[in-house]
Amino acid sequence: MILLKSHSCGELRKKHVGANVDLAGWVDRRRDHGRLIFIDLRDRGGIVQVVFNPEVSKSCHEIASEMRSEYVVRVSGEVAPRPPGTENPKLPTGDVEVIIDNTEILNTSKTPPFYINEDTEVEESLRLKYRYLDLRRARMKRNLLLRHQIVKFMRDFLDAQGFIEVETPILIKSTPEGARDYLVPSRLYPGKFYALPQSPQQLKQLLMVAGVEKYFQIAKCFRDEDTRADRQPEFTQLDLEMSFIEEEDILNLLEGLFASMVETVKPEMRMIKPFPRLTYAEAMEHYGTDKPDLRFGMEIRDLSDIVAQSDFSIFRSAIAEGGKVKGICAPGCASYTRHQLDELNKLVQNLGAKGLVTIILGTSGGSINDLTLEMVKSVATKFITLDHIKQMAECLGANMGDLLLIIAGKPKIVDMVLDELRREMGHRLKLADPNVLAFAFIVDFPLLARNEEMGQWESMHHPFTAPRDEDVSLLDVAPEKVRGKHYDMVCNGCEIAGGSIRIHTSHLQRKIFKLLGYNDDEIEERFGHLLEAFDYGAPPHGGVAPGIDRIVMLMAGEETIREVIAFPKTQSATDLTVNAPSSVAEEQLAELHLLLREES
């Protein structure tokens, strides 16, 4: 026998009754009744109950009494209908069972360090150390399968649209202006290094010059920066690029791809269609972030004009110093206790705000017109008139019984803190439906942002992003006003994709590099290959790169991308499964011409 299995455990149904089957898998659970032993046998396809009856086979029954959790076993027998009344509706295979007349233990197993057969919380470091066991669990198996289905859909979809998949190198050239690079020392060239790609950006643009026209790749990207729930040192992007297109083409492609992918792979999840489009300015104004969670409202409103003339020094001084006063309305939260308000205050202070002004609007429902000063609970009542409070409540769309949360300070801090508060309150009030994927496009980004520390212009996206045609003339006089042909796709508060129409002439590209502070030598050394390529008939082109880990995370309903990566790294960038990074032998270092520095 070459194959140990004639069927998968999970596929057996009533129609198989009478068939002799060969199965193999892991012991999920054992129920030993003394004479009769039931084993739930598990393989990738599912679980089926197999029965060891000493009256059928005494030797099989003896072997089965030795079986324990996670033993690897092979069984053969006849598929039988379960006796009436003993069917198990919880199992897809619950109408049948396999009466075993031949079996073998292929391998034993130690008692696993955590439950494989139960969906209980286990400390993540333990799961990662024994990731191969963790991946046996239903949740991880489901996530791996979903990821496969998503990636397969992407490949099929893009193939049907005429894209071709091209691989680009993993050993490329360091580009220190972006994220920190992962470096690979060169054995053949002492003192020189390759870098792992932060993204295949320049290579895919060269593929456009090469006439590929429609390219994509499931691309591993590497960035040596600190991790987050949605950020890993290495991650996967659906990298794609097209020639002879404009921004609208990319957005249409994305919407078509993601909408049909969700409808195919996760039909139970809902979307807002067509995907809403917000300008960067609108997103920042109403959500305080360029990646808003649009599953709920609770929009931020600017209250500066209302309170500018008030006697409340916190508000007045913030505005006088060039700051803003903005707030949100937490519906129905007037009953918040002192303790809960203190908690929120602590939250905003940890984020860098000076404090949180809370205004409780009465205790029961009703029209805000009936509000009296006695019904308002807030430190602000001493300094702010009832009229101002009513105006703020109206501006925030508040009703009686609601809680206003107001932050004053520098615009950047105010936005960041209110974004956090909005998401926190949305979470507490369960406003974000987990079965909704609220995709949206963010457009009209500024091309450049001022780096205050360095006193220099930096690319908002990357230096290859084309400025809007009508703004090109502003590059010389007012760079901050130049809008880029840059777009993001966001979903549920997560940046899912970023892309742009690229510069495709060396003249304009050089101009941008110079604006970013590079001199001619630096431009030549770092980007000479790209600029030269542009002089050989580079077509207009643009593209986008959706993060695969993130979209799988959202579709799997997970909180971190580690749950959808087979072997993820910890927050401190270690791999607990294989214990990486690790020391290397002195001989390896010597071969690479490396000497370790003494760190103080």
Instruction: Single out the residue of 103, 143, 175, 310 in contact with RNA (rule: CB under 7 A).
Output: 175
Q: Tokens in use for 7? A: 């069927």
DSSP 546-582: EBHHHHHHHHHT-SSGGGGSSS---TTS-BTTTTBS-
- Any contact of residue 207 with RNA (CB under 7 A)? no
In this structure, how many other beta carbons lie within 10 angstroms of the beta carbon of residue 254? 22
Between 169 and 352, name the residue whose CB sits nearer to RNA.
352
Helix (H, G, I), strand (E, B) or coil at 359: strand
What's the rounded Cα separation, in Å, for the pair 106 and 116? Answer: 19
Q: Using CB under 7 A, which residues numbered 214 to 233 contact RNA?
A: 223, 225-231
How far is 504 from 141, CA to CA, in rounded Å? 44
Candidates 114, 193, 383, 567: give the one binding RNA (CB under 7 A): 114
* Nearest distance in Å: CB 323, RNA: 17
Name the token pair of 63: 């072997």
70-89 binders of RNA (CB under 7 A): 82-83, 85-88
Pull the structure tokens for residue 387. Answer: 């009229």
Considering only 17, 19, 105, 126, the residue that binds RNA (CB under 7 A) is 126
The binder of RNA chosen from 69, 102, 505, 577 (CB under 7 A): 69
- C-alpha span between 232 and 229 (Å, rounded): 8
Q: Which stretch binds RNA (CB under 7 A): 112-120, 312-320, 393-401, 428-436?
A: 112-120
Taking the complex as a whole, the smallest distance from the CB of residue 470 to RNA amounts, in Å, to: 22
Task: Retrieve residue 554's tokens.
Answer: 């959202």
Helix, strand, coil fractions of the chain, as percent rounded to 5:
35, 25, 40
CB of 61 to RNA, least distance (A): 10
CB distance 422 to 328 below 8 Å:
yes
273 vs 346, beta carbon nearer RNA: 346
473-492 positions binding RNA, by CB under 7 A: none
Of 380, 308, 396, 311, nearest to 341 (Cα)?
Answer: 380
Radius of gyration of the chain (CA): 30
Q: Which of 297, 251, 243 is CA-nearest to residue 275?
A: 251
Neighbours of 593 (CB within 10 A): 14
Using the minimum distance from each CB to RNA, give the nearer residue, 384 or 548. Answer: 548
Q: Which of residues 432-471 bind RNA (CB under 7 A)?
A: 458-463
- CB atoms closer than 10 angstroms to residue 85: 5
- The yes or no reply on residue 170 touching RNA (CB under 7 A) is no
User: Is residue 31 a contact point for RNA (CB under 7 A)?
Assistant: yes
474 vs 481: CA distance, rounded Å: 7
- Identify the residue among 1, 2, 15, 111 touching RNA (CB under 7 A): 111
Q: With binding defined as CB under 7 A, does residue 199 bind RNA? A: yes
Which residues inside 287-346 make contact with RNA, applying CB under 7 A? Answer: none
Kindly state whether residue 354 participates in binding RNA, applying the rule CB under 7 A: no
**Contact range with RNA by CB under 7 A, out of 1-9, 196-204, 252-260, 325-333:** 196-204
Pick between residue 114 and residue 383 the one whose CB is nearest to RNA.
114
Question: Which position has the token pair 């809902």?
Answer: 270
DSSP label at 287? H
Structure tokens at 404: 């206003």
Using CB under 7 A as the binding criterion, the count of chain residues that bind RNA stands at 71
Stretch that binds RNA, among 33-41, 242-250, 398-406, 437-445 (CB under 7 A): 33-41
Binder of RNA out of 40, 134, 181, 549 (CB under 7 A): 40
> In the range 241-280, which residues lie near RNA by CB under 7 A?
none
**97 touching RNA, by CB under 7 A:** yes
Any contact of residue 570 with RNA (CB under 7 A)? Answer: yes
